[in-house]
Amino acid sequence: MNYEAIIKQVRDIPDFPKPGILFKDLTTVFKNEVSLQALSDELYHLYKDKGITKVVGIESRGFIMGAILASRLGAGFIPIRKPGKLPADTWQESFEKEYGIDTIEIHRDALSESDTILLHDDLLATGGTMIAAANLVRRFNPQKIYINFLSEIVALNGRAELPADIEVETLLKF
């Protein structure tokens, strides 16, 4: 896959969602059918032999490739959402982001001990969201957990904050 060509499609949005943040907008990549297919193919090849039973996508951009990948792997898709968006009983986890405190939730019946989980999100920045998501998924005591991001802002060193016992893959590095 030509990562450089895909990286050139990513749009930078200065001062979003607050001053001082340079937001990496992947919607410009998703709208290109060739790039979307290339990312889908790459993710599928990374995880096709891992026994993934559930892909857990983190709101909201993690839903895009997460659902595509779940379909390709023959796995279920589980959303992790912001508070009040899931209709049944949930577990919550709060965490600090680069621009404030946030909370995410997962349904209490979303996963089981027999599952092998792929946690997916679009971007690794400081790692706070994924650490919270991993903490939520660990409550289910699954067989194994993998973590994947489409992109990573390497200078923020969020990878160092992620659980050392979970394999982490990133396709695009900024």
In the annotation, is 159 catalytic? no
Q: Give buried/exposed letters for 31-56 (b at 16+ CB in 10 A, else e).
A: eeeebbebbeebbeeebeeeebbbbb
**Among this protein's residues, is 167 annotated catalytic?**
no
Which of 61, 93, 105, 152 is an active site residue? Answer: 61
DSSP 18-69: STT-EEEETHHHHTSHHHHHHHHHHHHHHHTTTT--EEEEETTTHHHHHHHH
Closest-CA residue to 70 (of 45, 51, 53): 53
42, 59, 72, 98: the catalytic one is 98
Tokens of 35: 């790039």
Measured distance CA(168)–CA(162) in Å, rounded: 8
For the annotated catalytic residues, the residue numbers are: 61, 98
